[in-house]
Structure 1
Amino acid sequence: MGPLAGKTALVTGGGTGIGLASAKRLAAEGAHVFITGRRGAELDAAVEAIGSTMSTAVAGDIANLADLDRLYEVIRNRGKGLDVLFANASAAEFMPLADITEEHFDTYFGINVRGTLFTVQKALPVLTDGASVILNGSTNADSGAPAFGVYAASKASTRSFARTWANELKERGIRVNSIAPGPTETPGLSGLQADAEHAAEFKRYLASQVPLGRLARPDEIAAAVLFLASDQSSFITGSNLYVDGGLNQI
């Protein structure tokens, strides 16, 4: 019996990367995990990897409010509420200031800020008192990486949301925290570059900037998610947990 035995969790963007690793870990510790994402084939593979008895996939886009309504209807119909919400889904693209378009801004704020906001807002009726809400932030919220301004600003919003929502939801005993992963070995990180050769060079550069000398593994970020999801962090709310190999600390 793990620390999440009998609990129900939701991981957005749960088909790959940090989301999939977190869904696996939460399920391994006893939770029934709902996962959502835009690509059905990835979700099907994720359910197979997690285990069909411990997971349920609901395809959808967090930037689409109708998809969120449908997702929470499925969770509501299960009749056990929602004890853990990991609002993980986000997207990124390099774009220098001079080239930023309305479409670029609307796309990434639409997913990372609007999508995160309504993911949590629409969860409120099914969240149990004492639930844990975890928002996926980024070390980029604190840094000035060139051509990453829109993404960084969206993640700064995530950090602000965690503080405000922790205050708003405290009467229900709902804890809200964010995590700030450093560069992590995921398909999303590789996807920031045009091809495999550039992706490998990019990852070598990022690893060279991390004091621990490497990229994070998704399961290392998942361990932090589990900590914030469980009673091990029962006196922590409104915080931002860096899982960055020292990148923004040293």
Structure 2
Amino acid sequence: MATDQNNQHSSAIDPKTLAGRRAVVTGGTLGMGRAIVQALTDRGAEVMYTGRSDRRLAEAQAALDTPLAHPVRSDATDAGAITALRDQVADRLGGIDYLFVNQGIAEFQTLEEVTEESWDRIFDVNAKGAFFTVQRLAPLMAEGGSIVFTTVSNDQIFPGLSAYSGAKEAVAAFAKVLAAELLPRRIRVNAIALGFILTPTMGVAELTDEQRAEFIEQGNAFTPMGRGGTVEEVAAAALYLAVEATFTTGVELPVDGGFGQGLGA
């Protein structure tokens, strides 16, 4: 145990310390997910990553430009697709050391605008899909492995994101329960709680250029550090929890520039 922990801790120094390790990243075609895939493969891990769009999968694979990354078309709202993902992972990797559950969608809708259809869509991707991805893939995880969920800093809120915030709070809740359930297998379960992060879509479906610019301005203003976080900073936090934080489980690590910590005015 001590030897394994020391090897994992050295990943911050040796860029290839994850050689031989296997990982799955859901929602890995762009933004934070792709940055996590990049960080893993840069350190020598073999990674299968998912996306729903063939175009985005192809673009991601070209950008990653490594034989260690394997794209998989998969829809987190489709139970059959999640089962097929499990089978593909078993066939190619045999097992998993790290699982990053990163898929997510958000839609700005006020109380009056939310429909049952939009509510179900957001919960299906962010909460239901996340849970059943872990349920299907957990049997493939090696003892001593690690799961990292992507949640959101909810201490400060944006109006119009009730469904999204609720779904991510659900993820934070069952992540803690799964941390307890998987303790006998020494599988650690943690989450990164994100604030304002600069990504191509800003995590919001069908955002116009004008809306994106306004969103960035508001995000910078609300973040005590005065800027949005980078996807590389998110990936660094995710890998820390997965690889180096070997005595940490059941926590939600804020990666939010002080957004949810009551700092600033």
Q: With the length of structure 2 as denominator, give the TM-score of the two structures.
A: 0.90
Return 5+ residue gaps in structure 1 as ranges.
Answer: none
Is 1:228 paired with 2:238? no
Is 1:95 paired with 2:109? yes
Pairing partner for 2:146 from 118, 132, 135: 132
Is 1:160 paired with 2:176? no
1:202 is aligned with what amino acid?
F
1:217 is aligned with what amino acid?
T
Instruction: Report matched runs for 1:63-74 at 5 Å.
Output: 63-74=77-88
- Shift of the 192–207 alpha-carbon distance from structure 1 to 2, 3 Å rule, reads farther
Pairing partner for 2:40 from 7, 26, 38: 26
Q: With the length of structure 1 as denominator, give the TM-score of the two structures.
A: 0.95
Return 5+ residue gaps in structure 2 as ranges.
Answer: 1-14
Range that drifts further, 73-82 or 121-130:
73-82
Query: Within 2, Cα distance between the matches of 1:233 and 1:194?
Result: 36
User: Shift in Å at residue 167 of structure 1?
Assistant: 0.1
> Which position in structure 1 is the counterpart of 2:7?
none
Is 1:248 paired with 2:263? no
Pairing partner for 1:196 from 209, 217, 230: 209
- Shift of the 242–54 alpha-carbon distance from structure 1 to 2, 3 Å rule, reads same
Question: Secondary structure of 1:132's match?
Answer: strand
CA RMSD of aligned residues (A): 1.4
Cα deviation 1:226-249 (Å, max 9, x = unaligned): 10121x200000000111011111
- Shift of the 247–128 alpha-carbon distance from structure 1 to 2, 3 Å rule, reads same
* Runs of 4+ displaced beyond 3 Å: 190-194
User: Shift in Å at residue 51 of structure 1?
Assistant: 2.9
Instruction: Report matched runs for 1:1-150 at 5 Å.
Output: 2-140=16-154, 142-150=155-163
> Which position in structure 2 is the counterpart of 1:237?
249
Length, aligned pairs only = 248
- Shift of the 170–227 alpha-carbon distance from structure 1 to 2, 3 Å rule, reads same
User: Shift in Å at residue 121 of structure 1?
Assistant: 0.3
Cα deviation 1:49-73 (Å, max 9, x = unaligned): 2234111111010111111111111
Cα deviation 1:103-134 (Å, max 9, x = unaligned): 01110011111100101000022111111000
Query: Within 2, Cα distance between the matches of 1:125 and 1:190?
Result: 30
Cα deviation 1:64-101 (Å, max 9, x = unaligned): 11111111111101253011000000100011112221
1:201 is aligned with what amino acid?
E
Given that 2:95 and 2:142 are in contact with CA atoms closer than 8 Å, whether structure 1 keeps it comes out as yes
Question: Secondary structure of 2:148's match?
Answer: strand
